């Protein structure tokens, strides 16, 4: 899911500016109220990832975590069987993937993210697991009694032979729409406000909400007379204008994901600083371009259960059933994973605006790690 979280945040971090013209001062405040819509294009690197089977190389000193020995008689005084089995499994995976028995466990080179397509499987043949267990140093360790070896071997043989990594929804684009208000002008400065309550953006994305605040300041006012006092929508005297802008956004994303019914909660903070310029052709038409720097930090929490197919193989759920039944308790121990992602980005934007009375239409395209096509419809009053 992480590419989805990254993509929806990157897509929403667009459509901050169009015209760089800001009057230094106005007779009374003006307002631009509109909806900014963005279409983000999913790149191939976001459609797949390299899956990794958990593994751990065997180290004799690790055994103290699970087994206690009486040095005098060699008897076991303490034993955590469940953790020992888990440790041995990790050792076997390391040996079968990276170690001297490399190749007994084959891992896929790529798997689908939630935006890709096609299922992928980890295959764990029982004969490979048997060979890897017998090659494990503890198998021939004299202090390990036979009953414990048998118990470990029995547990390993109950492991599922397949782990499926489920394909995504084959997305090539992600869409977002944002209400936006701009208020000006004081000392050549405009205020930008964005706010959207939780909105369901579909099965793949989930409920998305965010808010944003920004300030845009005219550089042109220091270069030429930029209307010391202007009526609200006077066009600039000079055809070109330059402005700088800083924007801060906070987002929240919630979803229930896939076969594991993972409960996803992701919160992000995004900073954007840009410099942009515009050229007024007259007749309400204006072209603009800008270069921006942005930083995004995403904190995600995933809480999830074993897939039902794995629960069937483990005997936790009755074959073919998705809910608990008498004698089949299901997975009662949800797991949790926390991820923090931070990235920076340089974005170049080029676009056009057309004004019709008090309405303004805006179209632009941003080039960066995440290319975004944006469209805006604004009413000025």
pLDDT in tens, 153-197: 888 778 888 888 888 889 899 988 889 999 988 999 999 999 888
Domain at 229, CATH number = 2.40.128
Q: Is the pLDDT of residue 142 over 80?
A: no
* 257 shares its domain with 194: yes
Interior angle at CA 57, CA 54 and CA 58, nearest 5: 125
For the chain, give the mean pLDDT.
88
* 267 shares its domain with 140: no
Q: Which of 122, 146, 165 is the last residue of a domain?
A: 165
* 205 shares its domain with 274: yes
* 30 shares its domain with 60: no
* 34 shares its domain with 109: no
* 117 shares its domain with 66: yes
**Which H, E and C letters describe 191-222, residue by residue?**
EEEEEEEEEECCCCCCEEEEEEEEEEEECHHH
* 103 shares its domain with 67: yes
374 touches 37 (CB < 8 A): yes
Alpha-carbon span 237 to 232, nearest angstrom: 14
* 270 shares its domain with 200: yes
Q: Is the pLDDT of residue 310 over 80?
A: yes
Alpha-carbon span 206 to 204, nearest angstrom: 6
Dihedral of the alpha carbons of 41, 46, 47, 50, in degrees to the nearest 10: 170
* 229 shares its domain with 351: yes
Q: Which of 109, 132, 165 is the last residue of a domain?
A: 165
- Give the rounded percent of residues in the chain with a pLDDT score beyond 90: 48
Can you give the pLDDT at residue 71?
66
* 117 shares its domain with 152: yes
* 200 shares its domain with 144: no
Name the DSSP letter for residue 319: T
* 117 shares its domain with 186: no
Q: What is the tens place of the pLDDT at every residue in 5-51?
A: 888 888 988 999 999 999 888 888 999 999 999 999 999 989 999 99
Q: Is the dihedral of CA 368, 294, 247, 9 positive or negative?
A: positive
Q: Which of 165, 195, 222 is the last residue of a domain?
A: 165
For residue 118, the cross-strand partners are: none
What is the average pLDDT across 51-57? Answer: 93
Most confident option among 126-140, 250-264, 272-286: 272-286
Can you give the pLDDT at residue 230?
53
Can you give the pLDDT at residue 190?
96
Structural domain range at position 307: 2-42+171-380
Number of domains in the chain: 2
**Inter-CA distances, 170 with 41, 42, 167, 373, Å:** 12, 10, 8, 19
């Amino acid at each position: 899911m992480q590419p989805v979280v990254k993509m929806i945040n990157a897509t929403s971090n667009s459509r901050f500016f169009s015209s760089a013209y800001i009057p230094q001062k106005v007779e009374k405040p003006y307002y631009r109220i509109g909806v900014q819509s963005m279409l983000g294009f999913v790149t191939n690197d976001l459609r797949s990832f390299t899956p990794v089977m958990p593994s751990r190389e065997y180290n004799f000193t690790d055994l103290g975590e699970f087994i206690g020995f009486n040095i005098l008689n060699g008897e076991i005084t303490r034993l955590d069987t469940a953790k020992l089995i888990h440790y041995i499994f990790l050792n076997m995976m390391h040996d079968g993937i990276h170690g001297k028995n490399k190749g007994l466990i084959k891992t896929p080179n790529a798997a689908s993210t939630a935006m890709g397509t096609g299922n992928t499987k980890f295959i764990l043949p029982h004969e490979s697991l048997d060979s890897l267990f017998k090659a494990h140093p503890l198998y021939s360790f004299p202090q390990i009694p036979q009953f414990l070896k048998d118990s470990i071997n029995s547990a390993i043989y109950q492991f599922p032979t397949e782990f499926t990594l489920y394909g995504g929804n084959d997305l090539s684009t992600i869409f977002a729409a944002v209400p936006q208000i701009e208020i000006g002008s004081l000392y050549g400065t405009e205020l930008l406000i964005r706010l959207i309550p939780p909105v369901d953006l579909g099965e793949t994305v989930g409920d998305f909400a965010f808010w944003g605040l920004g300030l845009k300041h005219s550089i042109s006012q220091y270069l030429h007379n930029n209307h010391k006092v202007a009526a609200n929508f006077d066009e600039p005297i000079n055809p070109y204008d330059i402005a700088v802008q800083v924007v801060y956004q906070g987002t929240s994303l919630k979803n229930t994901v896939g076969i594991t019914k993972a409960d996803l909660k992701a919160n992000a903070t995004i900073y954007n600083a840009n410099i942009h310029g515009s050229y007024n052709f007259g007749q309400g038409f204006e072209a603009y371009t800008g270069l921006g720097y942005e930083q995004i930090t995403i904190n995600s929490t995933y809480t999830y259960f074993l897939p039902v197919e794995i629960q069937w193989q483990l005997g936790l759920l009755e074959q073919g059933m998705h809910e608990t039944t008498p004698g089949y308790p299901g997975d009662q121990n949800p797991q949790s994973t926390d991820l923090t992602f931070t990235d920076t980005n340089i974005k170049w934007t080029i676009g056009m605006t057309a004004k019709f009375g008090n309405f303004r239409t805006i179209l632009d395209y941003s080039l960066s790690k995440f290319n975004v096509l944006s469209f805006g419809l604004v009413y000025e009053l």
